[in-house]
């Protein structure tokens, strides 16, 4: 199951070259061509699904097993101080390639590559209750 116009499907089929870190029947991990940091990697399922909701549960398990394997490899071999796992869904959340993918982004202490100081405001009990009602309806 693939999309002939999808860059990541082309990477899977080796029609576009990439630096492959790990590959098995269901998943592929390769270096991001525009890395945020040294070792920035992308992990994808070999079947084309656009976002998280479409990924079957059995594929999700395989995918995150590969994320864990590659994150461990990067942490042990490149010795970053830490790493972020980021997964964007839909354009509003920054997704550019419409083939489900997980970013593994190595971090150094104080590198300021990604700021997680997100703007937050406290919510009243009424607001949280109203959100819960929408989710559970
Ligand atoms: P998104 O913003 O969709 O979550 O991230 C897509 C990522 O795919 C970006 O970080 C981008 O640099 C990477 N990317 C896009 N095209 C290619 C490509 O042809 N090869 C590789 N290795 N990475 C790509
Ligand atoms: Zn694809």
- 7-111 architecture in CATH? 2-Layer Sandwich (3.30)
Q: What average pLDDT does this structure show over 95-123?
A: 89
Are 107 and 75 spatial neighbours (Cβ–Cβ below 8 Å)? no
**Catalytic residue list contains 101:** yes
d(CA 25, CA 59): 11
Q: How far is the CA of 97 from the centre of ligand 1 (A)?
A: 7
Please report, for the chain, the start and end positions of each structural domain, with discontinuous segments joined by +: 7-111
Give residue 121's pLDDT.
Answer: 82
Are 31 and 21 spatial neighbours (Cβ–Cβ below 8 Å)? yes
Tens digits of per-residue pLDDT, 34-57? 999 999 999 999 999 999 999 999
Model's pTM, two decimal places? 0.92
Tens digits of per-residue pLDDT, 69-91? 999 999 999 999 999 999 999 99
Ligand 1, from 5, 7, 49, 85: best to mutate by most atoms within 8 Å of Cβ?
Answer: 7
């Amino acid at each position: 199951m693939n999309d002939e116009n999808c860059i990541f499907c082309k990477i899977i089929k080796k029609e576009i070259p990439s630096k492959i870190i790990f590959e098995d029947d269901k998943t592929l991990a390769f270096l991001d061509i525009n890395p945020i940091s040294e070792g920035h990697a992308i992990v994808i399922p070999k079947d084309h699904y656009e976002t998280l909701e479409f990924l079957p549960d059995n594929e999700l398990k395989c995918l995150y097993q590969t994320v864990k394997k590659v994150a461990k490899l990067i942490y042990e071999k490149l010795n970053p101080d830490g790493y972020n796992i980021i997964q964007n869904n839909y354009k509003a959340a920054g997704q550019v390639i419409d083939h489900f993918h997980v970013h593994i982004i190595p971090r150094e202490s104080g590198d300021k590559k990604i700021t997680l100081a997100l703007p937050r405001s406290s919510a009243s009990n009424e607001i949280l209750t109203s959100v819960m009602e929408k989710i559970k309806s």
